[in-house]
Copies of this chain bind each other. A is one copy, B any other.
Amino acid sequence: MSGPLDGVKVVDLTTVVVGPIATRTLADQGADVIKVEAPGGDILRFLAAGSRTPAMSGKFINFNRNKRSIGLDIKQPEGLAAMKALLAKADVFVTNVRPQGLERAGLDFASLHALNPRLIHCGIVAFGRGGRYYNRPAYDPIIQSLSGVAGTFHRATGEPRFVPMVMTDHTTGLIAAQSVGFALYRRERTGVGEAIEVPMFENMASFVMSEHLGAATFDPPEGPSGDARLLSPDYRPLPTKDGYLTVRPNNNRQAFAFFDAIGKPELKDDPRFRTALTRTQNAPDYFRVQVEALATKTTAEWLEIFAKADVPAGPYNEIDDLLEDPHLAEVGFWHFDDHPTEGRIRRTKVPNSFSGGMREEVLPAPQLGRHTREVLRELGHDEAAIEAMLASGAAFEGLS
């Protein structure tokens, strides 16, 4: 059995999260991903506390399973030549190097299309072509700041905040993998590759505004932007007597069952709460009813009551609770691997299942340049040529 992308060769010139999650997604579904690292390696190797060996942070390990690492200095002619040799045989190139840098190195779509017309060239950029920020660098928080992600908290709580994840990197990377899949499908029909541009800012602005354009969808606006339900200060797990709980009575049946369950059946006739539309219009009031009710019983008591009344509700997990969550345990979410250099490690399951077959072999996240020799051999370099590249630094293994 193998995954849907079995046989797809991906050359991965990306760092941090936006590119590595894109290529991990492709790798998890069966692609052969070769991660090309510059001297010093992907900075994510260092960007988190708690590694066992240098340059192997937990975060790096999580985002780089199922890949092989080759160390190449593409600023040296032999390094760049090896890079191009890899690309000549590849199906997909994923990169988050800025467009001007790619052009300087001859790694832009036009140059590579001439070398390999079947190559799909996926450029993840901070900002799309045609706008004033094109070619500017960015990190996740800058995109959260610009794209309205932080702005949603401003509306909800009075102060802008980031999501405490590299959410715009992570989401855009998933979209990049999605786009590569679409282009692979088209290539089966046309026989030729194409260039894809995946801009972080535009993707996240689209994410935020699809949700929060609201009444400003209409021109002139029918009211303020924003989905009032989501922007309520009380839109959060709500405190119970002994913890937190989330309840979501959405349609009429659920809302009326909720009012009965909390002992306030009279609210079913309250004009503020009679329909999904009026509950949306009166979202802050509807949340206050929930806040006041939940404080009166324990989480377990409420979960039992809501289960009986068929009102959607669920417990709250802190980050570490996920390690022990019973549903996750039952679906085999956590795996333990013996990593060849890092010892016993915990790994998340690939969450999506494909009945046509899944990737079976799991490659451990690679140390920097662990596969440099192996990949150069696959390119047809003989041992002398490989040694020469290692001696000059055009290729390398490990930290220098």
Contact = CB atoms under 8 A, between A and B. Distances in A.
A10 interface: no
A332 interface: yes
Interface in A234-271: 235-237, 244-246, 248, 250-251
A48 B209 contact: no
Nearest to A310: B137
Contacts of A198: 351-352
A52 interface: yes
A166 B211 contact: yes
Given A141-B248, A146-B316, A185-B4, A63 B210 contact: yes
A205 interface: yes
Interface in A159-174: 159-167, 170-171, 174
A227 B330 contact: no
Contact of A208 (B139, B276, B322, B332): B322
Contact of A202 (B21, B179, B328): B328
A218 B344 contact: yes
A190 interface: yes
| Chain A binding surface, main DSSP class | mixed
A280 interface: yes
A267 to B, nearest CB: 19
A49 B353 CA distance: 37
Contacts of A139: 248, 250, 312
Instruction: Determine the interface band of chain A, counting residues with CB < 8 A from chain B.
Output: 35 or more
A142 B314 contact: yes
A349 B202 contact: yes
A201 B327 contact: yes
Interface string A121-165: 000000111111100011111111111111111111001111111
A210 to B, nearest CB: 4
A79 to B, nearest CB: 21
Nearest to A177: B178
A78 interface: no
Contacts of A351: 128, 198-199, 202-203, 205-206
Contact of A316 (B49, B138, B150): B150
A61 B217 contact: yes
Contacts of A349: 202, 206
A165 B152 contact: yes
24 contacts: A47-B276, A51-B215, A51-B222, A58-B214, A58-B222, A133-B327, A137-B312, A146-B316, A150-B316, A152-B319, A160-B244, A170-B207, A174-B174, A182-B354, A183-B356, A186-B356, A188-B189, A195-B355, A197-B353, A205-B333, A210-B348, A217-B346, A218-B343, A226-B319
